[in-house]
């Protein structure tokens, strides 16, 4: 008698610590303040709020500041307590927060864009404020003088921006699915390269300066790991989401990637394993296993009096095969396929149970995530949802 196969219950899961739920609108960006039981949030409801944990165990605002327009994005530098907030009207406003997080002093305003600021990034080492907007401009300003230093025109809206301090490279992910690498100088920039691997918008970027690896997440549900430091052009796909990828964070101490999607899924990827690139799909006029012609191969269909078949591809070897020769499904975790995909019969035989051991864990945040932030010193994760709720999670059971 065949034993019933039950999926192993996930014994180690993120622990929900707290919920913050009094925003009138969606919180577009929120961050955990390191070394402090606090959260900074900016919202479509035009507010900047600093939440501190009270003796009751609940988070209450110590600062509640209303801005002239919806707040679309934010960058917080804990060392200088500098908060840069991008708004719907194209302006970036900067504040310095007091040591006890009870006061906020306006520092500077940048008229950075025509239209919504989509990403803002303060780089302390350069004293630069990088930003992108709905006007498809990437600009950088000097945070000391407030003057604009440079401008670069992107081909589409930008939703992911990362900066490598050591080499002054900026990574720009846009709505065309493209990632552009630029080298920034004080007042000019040069295009280094562009690469494209996604079929949808790039929605998130995450740069790991230690391994020199860039992760890109997309509305096509996939994540690609671009090995830039390896110089071999390796690009590895990670398929573990059923919806738009909305956020990516890398935990360097444990070499784990945390990703989230708009269906509420949180996936923790073990990046300490040697992963393989997916093969190129081969082209053939007939099945590369049984040699039956594919439907456009009229000559062979006529000669051998056979019915043409539909072409499929084995995800492991890339061969063009018919449905009959690729009826089986398997996960291939080391190729990034954490979900079952089509494989040919011979590949199915070659995949061992060991090969099928998952390299990621899957969790449900139970809200549609719009933004995510990971704080490595406490091991806490913040998720902001379309339900206007911020959730704080202890990730140490799974990121360790
Ligand atoms: Zn076949
Ligand atoms: Zn195969």
Residue 362's nearest CA partner among 268, 251, 258 is 268
For residue 34, the CA-to-ligand 1 centroid distance in Å is 57
Please report how many Cα atoms fall inside a 13 Å half-sphere around the Cα of residue 118, on the Cβ side. 23
For residue 322, the CA-to-ligand 1 centroid distance in Å is 4
pLDDT at 115 > cutoff 70: yes
For residue 345, the CA-to-ligand 2 centroid distance in Å is 7
For residue 353, the CA-to-ligand 1 centroid distance in Å is 25
pLDDT tens digits, 326-385: 999 999 999 999 999 999 999 999 999 999 999 999 999 999 999 999 999 999 999 999
> CA-to-CA distance for 88 and 44, rounded, in angstroms?
9
Residue 202's nearest CA partner among 221, 181, 184 is 221
Which domains are seen in the chain, by residue range? Answer: 15-273+359-394 (2.130.10.10), 276-358 (3.30.40.10)
CA distances in angstroms from 318 to 21, 279, 281, 288, listed in the order given: 48, 5, 4, 10
For residue 318, the CA-to-ligand 2 centroid distance in Å is 6
For residue 316, the CA-to-ligand 2 centroid distance in Å is 5
pTM of the model: 0.90
Structure tokens at 133: 């907007």
Which has the higher per-residue pLDDT, 18 or 278?
Answer: 18
pLDDT at position 9: 53
For residue 323, the CA-to-ligand 1 centroid distance in Å is 7
For residue 32, the CA-to-ligand 2 centroid distance in Å is 46
Structure tokens at 96: 């310095």
For residue 295, the CA-to-ligand 1 centroid distance in Å is 13
pLDDT at 73 > cutoff 50: yes
CA distances in angstroms from 103 to 36, 69, 98, listed in the order given: 15, 21, 5
Average pLDDT over residues 302-331: 91
**195 SS3 class:** strand
3-state secondary structure 25-87: CCEEEEEEECCCCEEEEEECCCEEEEEEECCCCCEEEEEEEECCCCEEEEEEECCCCEEEEEE
For residue 280, the CA-to-ligand 1 centroid distance in Å is 19
pLDDT at position 2: 43
For residue 304, the CA-to-ligand 2 centroid distance in Å is 25
Helix residue ranges per DSSP H, the chain: 298-304, 345-350
306 alpha carbon, closest ligand: 1
Residue 257's nearest CA partner among 367, 353, 372 is 372
User: Could you identify the residue written with the tokens 């009959």?
Assistant: 324
For residue 276, the CA-to-ligand 1 centroid distance in Å is 26
For residue 283, the CA-to-ligand 2 centroid distance in Å is 14
325 alpha carbon, closest ligand: 1
343 alpha carbon, closest ligand: 2
For residue 235, the CA-to-ligand 1 centroid distance in Å is 29
> CA-to-CA distance for 393 and 13, rounded, in angstroms?
10
For residue 347, the CA-to-ligand 1 centroid distance in Å is 13
pLDDT at position 10: 61
For residue 104, the CA-to-ligand 2 centroid distance in Å is 60
pLDDT at position 302: 78
335 alpha carbon, closest ligand: 2
> CA-to-CA distance for 354 and 89, rounded, in angstroms?
54
CB 269 within 8 A of CB 259: yes
For residue 321, the CA-to-ligand 2 centroid distance in Å is 8
For residue 349, the CA-to-ligand 1 centroid distance in Å is 16
290 alpha carbon, closest ligand: 1
For residue 297, the CA-to-ligand 1 centroid distance in Å is 14
For residue 196, the CA-to-ligand 2 centroid distance in Å is 26
> CA-to-CA distance for 205 and 171, rounded, in angstroms?
8
Residue 118's nearest CA partner among 80, 159, 147 is 159
pLDDT at position 119: 97
User: Could you identify the residue written with the tokens 């992107």?
Assistant: 154
For residue 291, the CA-to-ligand 1 centroid distance in Å is 6
pLDDT at position 11: 74
pLDDT at position 8: 55
Structure tokens at 334: 């080391």
* Region for 239 from its dihedrals, namely left if φ exceeds 0, alpha if ψ lies in -120 to 50, beta otherwise: beta
pLDDT band per the 50, 70, 90 thresholds, residue 268: very high
Residues in the chain: 400
pLDDT at position 234: 85
For residue 310, the CA-to-ligand 1 centroid distance in Å is 10
């Amino acid at each position: 008698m065949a034993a019933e196969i039950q999926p192993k219950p996930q014994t180690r899961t993120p622990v929900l610590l707290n919920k913050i739920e009094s925003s009138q609108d969606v919180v577009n960006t929120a961050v955990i303040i390191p070394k402090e039981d606090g959260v900074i949030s900016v919202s479509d409801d035009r507010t900047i709020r600093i939440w501190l944990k009270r003796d009751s165990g609940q988070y209450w605002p110590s600062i509640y500041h209303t801005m002239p327009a919806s707040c679309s994005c934010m960058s917080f530098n804990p060392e200088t307590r500098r908060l840069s907030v991008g708004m719907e009207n194209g302006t970036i406003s900067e504040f310095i927060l007091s040591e006890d997080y009870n006061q906020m002093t306006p520092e500077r305003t940048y008229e950075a864009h025509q239209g919504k600021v989509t990403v803002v990034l303060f780089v302390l080492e350069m004293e630069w404020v990088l930003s992108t907007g709905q006007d498809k401009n990437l600009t950088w300003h000097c945070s000391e003088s407030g003057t604009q230093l440079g401008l670069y025109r992107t081909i589409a809206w930008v939703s992911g921006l990362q900066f490598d301090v050591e080499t002054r490279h900026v990574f720009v992910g846009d709505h065309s699915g493209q990632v552009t690498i630029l080298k920034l100088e004080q007042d000019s920039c040069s295009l280094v390269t562009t690469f494209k691997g996604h079929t949808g918008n790039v929605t998130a970027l995450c740069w790991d300066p230690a391994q020199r690896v860039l992760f890109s997440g997309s509305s096509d549900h996939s994540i690609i790991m671009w090995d830039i430091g390896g110089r071999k052009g390796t690009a590895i796909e990670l398929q573990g989401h059923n919806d738009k990828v909305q956020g990516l964070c890398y935990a360097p101490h444990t070499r784990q990637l945390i990703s989230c999607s708009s269906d509420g899924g949180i996936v923790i990827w073990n990046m300490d394993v040697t992963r393989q690139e997916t093969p190129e799909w081969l082209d053939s006029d007939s099945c590369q296993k049984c040699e039956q012609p594919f439907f456009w191969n009229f000559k062979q269909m006529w000669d051998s009096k056979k019915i043409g078949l539909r072409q499929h591809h084995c995800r492991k070897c890339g061969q063009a095969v018919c449905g009959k020769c690729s009826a089986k499904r398997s996960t291939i975790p080391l190729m990034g396929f954490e979900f079952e995909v089509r494989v040919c019969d011979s590949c199915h035989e070659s995949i061992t149970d060991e090969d099928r051991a998952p390299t990621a864990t899957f969790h449900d945040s139970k809200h549609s995530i719009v933004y995510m932030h990971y704080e490595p010193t406490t091991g806490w994760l913040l998720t902001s949802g379309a339900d206007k709720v911020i959730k704080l999670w202890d990730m140490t059971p799974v990121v360790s």
